[in-house]
Structure 1
Amino acid sequence: MTQRLKLFYGLLGAVIGLCIGTFLKNFSTMETLSRCDTISLPTIQSRSPLEIINLTAEETPSNSQRTLVFVGVMTSKDFLESRAKAVYNTWGKLVPGRIAFFSSEGSSGDDLPVVALNGVDDRYPPQKKSFMMLHYMYEHFIDKFEWFLRADDDVFIKPDKLEKFLRRVDSTKAQFIGQAGRGNNEEFGLLSLEFDENFCMGGPGIIMSRQTLKRVAPHIPTCLKNLYSTHEDVEIGRCVQKFAGIPCTWNYEMQSIFHHNSSGNRAFSGNLKKKEVHSAITLHPIKRSPLMHRMYAYYLGLTAQELRQQSLYLHRDIAQMISLLQIPKTHKMLARGVPLFPDNDRDSFNFIDDHDILGNFPNLNRYMPDDLSDLKEWDFLAKSIYSASHLNPKRKMESSLREGLDDVIREIMENINTYSRQRGRVIEYRELLYGYSRVNSMHGHDLILDLLLVYKKYRGKKMTVPVRKHLYVQRSFTETRIREITNNDELPNKGLVQSNLAFNRFTDKMKSLFNDGFNDFYTAGKPRESNSNTFDDKIIFILPLSGRYEIFLRFLKNFEDVALRTNENAELLISLFINSTDHRISSVFQIIDHLNKKYQRHAVRTIKLYGEFSRGVAIDKAIQSSHIKDEDIIFLIDVDILFQTLTLKRIRQNTIRNQQIYLPIVFSEYNPELVNSHVGNIPYTTSSSSSLPSESRSFLSDYNKMSMNYEYYVNSSTLINNESGYFREFGYGIASIYKCDIMNSKINGFVTDIKGWGLEDVKFLEKILTASHQLQNQLLLSIADGVEINQNASSSNNLDVFRSPDPSLVHIYHPIVCDKNLEKNQYKMCLGTKSNTLGNFRLLKEKYFLKRDFMQLVNKVKEVVVN
């Protein structure tokens, strides 16, 4: 009997312990269960559920286009003013339905449709919040929408793609759509999932049809009572599997449609021109609101591109119908008073653009030249770009063209592979072998591309085969649209959305063009801030000099006439390399002393340097000297350059402290002996045997007698033209920058490691662009990491480069001698510059190629090469 009692009490104790343990384990779940009955009761919010999402009681899927999907965004009190507001101000307002933000009890948002869930807090994991959100949707909106989407506040959704996707799926059936998951490697087998079970990952978003939510929502208390993991998306998937009888979609494409980036906080903080960004419906995660606005700006750009393409399709339909219906162009009206053809009333709201141009179908022969001069030449694309119409016939491919080619190839490959995976194959892009490119201003951009591709077949008989594909691509232009924004508050945060910054600069340039006339077009740089600098900041001309004293006299006379006589706030700092055997140095210093005494200020200073001439060293020594203050503008110039008063105005307007440097594009003269007309009446000397007078009086006398008609030189319309010279767009040696900017930690002075002719200006520009690019990347990564950004400190190192042709800066021709001992790149650049100064293409053709004896010599050379 005693043994039986002991056994009985032992079993009783085990049962009681098991009950107590079970109670403690499910205490929170039972607490949730006890509140489920009160969910339908009025909450503490004053607005009704329909008022929160701005939905009328009469609206249903059968009579409204804005009831396709209800998007429930899970958030918390801490993120209502950041993530939630960023979602609502970007893609949230474009949802083809309604959106609401579900947060903990007591949450509120003045401008947001916030639902504060009773008895729910912001503890993680948000299992209770997630299930209560689904129950709220079921209680109040189950008959108002076809689809229900559960989303996080760090996901970006493309509303137009979402609508197109959902309207293709039968919403009357039970659907559970998302990216299928089974847990990571560490959790595999620990989530209590059967071998054929899965769940929809919550990050990229979960979509349920109305039928699925109807089956699941009544059993939410049971699902909450039986939790097997800490992951709310796993438990939702388990609940749907049990009570709706369907798993998450297993389709392979779902991982690209509902895209999850595994980079964590830094996801989507880099380049956005990627396949997944273009093709996906949802992008996750975007942890910071600035990155959400950046993604939204990029999305709007893609949307605008698609709308313009649709506009072209419509114009082509109109043009085709006009042709088929044989409507004469004399009939100005098509229907209901809408003008069909262009007329003088271009300001009409209903004006339809010229469909004769916009409605042209893709065709390499749609532009037919009337004569040889109208023929559009092709540029050859390979590792470099070869162009017969460019000043630099062989050059590195510009970033704009490279980016455009990448966009074209990416879109083409996406179109090719649209249905490839369903057929068990894929085609991958390897490289561009060669191509041809031309631009017609009336029609668009034509491309002929030869691509190396790889064909991969992974179903049936597997194979991998390299193939070549010729592509004929036309990128048509649409009509020009100019939009002026007067209220800056309409734009998003200008420090975060780079596309809006670029638009602001373009608008300011256009304003400057129309307000100030043609001459001030060259000064239409970035808008100046009142506290950045004034229009009277001192300009320090830095002139590296070694010998060439005759040319220096011309430059000095130019500086006196433009800067000293007009009492401009400008000084000249000469970095003079001295040769001990040169006795003309004393005469140079005498004229400098004469000018300083004449104008009663130290307007011309010198820094003495010794050794082998280096332009980079000369500039860097001058920059770091005490003659220049941080608030002074540094203007790097060569002794062969002539300038005028307008140059000083453009330097001050286009050089902005902590924001922008100015690289004017200088007009460079051709060889006057070939052009047969040396324009202007500026003295030109090339003789190296001439010397400065040894006597001070005769030197000053000759200097004062120099006559230079600068007004005629600059204003003469016969001087700045294609016959006399060209704008040297590939030269960067003439530059304007504040000393505080060039001496910041990112740039830290000029480039000093280049010896001999050229290349130091290219290295200097690369240094500035690299520093700016690194700062932009650092800014985005700092935003992604949640680091507090000091906008003033970050912008102080971010220098934009503004370039513009400046006819007030003229490089006078002089013979160029290229030292064969130069480095390879320097020697090639020297030869290229030398060849460019010979004359334009038409002149060279007339002087050489049309001569019979020259062509006979060319033919003889060909015969020798062939034989």
Structure 2
Amino acid sequence: MKLHRRLSEQVNKFAPKILTRKPNPSTKKTKLVRPRYYSTELGIREKMFVGIFTSEEKINTQAVHINKTIGHLVDRIKFFITAQYKLKTKFNLTGLVGFTDARHKYRPFQVIKYVGDSFAQDYDYYFFANDYTFINVHRLKDIVNKISVSMDVYLGTKVKDSSYCNLDAGIVISSSVLKAMRTHLDWCIMNAISEDHSENIGRCIYHSLGLSCQEAVQVINCSTYQIYAFRWKVFPPFKLKHFELGEHLLELTGKANFNDAVTIYPVLQKDDFYLLNAYFFKVVQNLEILNFKPGIVIKKQRLSILHEETQRLSEPLTEVWPPGQRPGAKPATRFDLPRQFYFNMTHIFFPDDFTNTRPHMEADLLDIENVIDEVKATVANKYPRNLQYRRLINGYRVFDLSRGMDYTLDLGFRDLNTGKEVIKRFEVCKPLGKVEFILVPYVTETTRVTILLPIQEMETSLAMDFLANYSTLVMDRKEKTFLMLVLLYQYNSESKGTTDPFSDVKNFVTKAAVKYKNDDAKIAWVSIRLPESPVPLTVEDNKSLNFATVDLALRKVGVDSLTLVLSVYCNITVDFLNRVRMNTILNHQIFSPIPFRQYDPKISQYKSLEVNKNTGHFDREEYRFISFYGRDYVIARKKYQHKMPLIRTDNDIVSILGDEHKNVGNLFEMFVKYTDTLHCMRATEMSLKVVYHEENDKTRKNLFLGNEAELAKLLLTKRDEIIELA
């Protein structure tokens, strides 16, 4: 009993227990969305955004002056005004932002909302000022470049007896301050009690972060100079328009606070903006030369002087090398530089983005050997009995489409006097040959395409599907086409009345001809009576009927037409018809498109016919679809009639149904063998799709049941039902 109890206790320890709580729900993994640019993912931002408060009256004056003096030096500049209409219809200045709310006291908050929503993640610092403030942008950029981006910055000049920064003198705020203001913007709007922009901005920042105006950050101050207090005089605002800055500029330049100023206000004269801009630009140049990194700056100055001297000396030198050859095209950007390839006598290095080395092709190696032979001959002529060629050390080549091939060769020679190796560099140019005019045929997408569509009696339902699709995609768009339906009647079939197997097709053609009679899209039919046979004649069993169909139909459409042969299993588009027009050239070229053929939908489980590796594949064994000009067909057909008799009437069809001819029906093969001047083009065509259908052709290698994975899966799941695998 004790042993049994002990064993039961040990077993119970490992017995499964039912937990009453619910299992943890499966968490769906969030998909990582990679940004488009590295700078976005790494959080790299531009340095400074500038916003100017202005008005409609000042756009073409003050705003334009500010834009011309600093617009090209800052990362972005915007001008904020009140506008009740589209800005582009009245003002030509770019960067205008108009607000429909004309209430003056809410303007700072409208600006903060716009900038916070549009540019909060793009810049480190934001500078705001009025339109009568001159901005020494070089000094301003120097300040923001020295301040840490991790600090909350509200930098400027305090309003007298206040803790707010003066907007007239300019305000610098950091990205963190802008985001905090945007978060608390509703409170700022509700508590805006003043018409003063400086106070409203300051109150909002103080509520958001508890910051007061900072006149210095990290021992860096943002000073301003006020013209009101110039020369210990007070100029009333109405006299500022008559203040001539040029008369007093010499005196002002002697003041340290003027030279160190980031902003100067108020500036109301047009010339004063440009005068101040020219003066401070000159100051910056002098500081760079004398104080700021003198060694590097002086070297840059020397390089600039040398570059200018080189340009001056090279102006009269109009000759190019080699003489008479045009120079290479100057690349617009660094991405347009022609690629330079390094090579030796056996390999070329990095010929493309995916290959490290590649052996020389025969033509390339022959070209290199010819170039070296020319260099050796030149050296032998210039240094007779002094130098002996030994080896190629380095080789570079560049191909310029406008110039030709340029080689740079480092060749090793043996000095016959000393026995030492001498390395010499040679530049060799292989210019392009003379320009030659080549006659090319003219093709256009406005040519009418005549489509021959053979229809057998058992294919009427498929033909109706084709016609419905064709009328929607082609005829409704008024494409310049002519659809000729070739109706293949059996010997004993009725061709009239309700027993006509093609009655539905004929009714559709009649209605469509009336509907589109004034359009370029035409439609008609021609009937062909097949000869008497003990079994129904089909195109699949008698491929020679392909020639009979074209021979008889071409008599109806004419030999000058561009003819395209299709089948009822096709789905076509306007793009495909345009490619037929461009690829079929009279007396020059025929076109045999390779269609995309659908796998069996029961196996692939894809009902829609789309170009996808799981839904189908390009059928390289299909040659039925072909386009040509009737005149080219007639020429080739006459040469081919000794193998395939010409069909002039329905009664002649019996002559091609014998064993000698019945399995010959490839029109493309006829063009290849019996035309000397025609180019036979064959290419995949994704806009020509063929729906799945079974064929009795035992010579086919691909039955288009499905791809390898689908067929393997079918064998594994249905192996018990397949007798061959049992």
TM-score w.r.t. the length of structure 1 is 0.27
From the two aligned structures, give the one with the greater strand fraction: 2
Q: Which has the larger radius of gyration?
A: 2
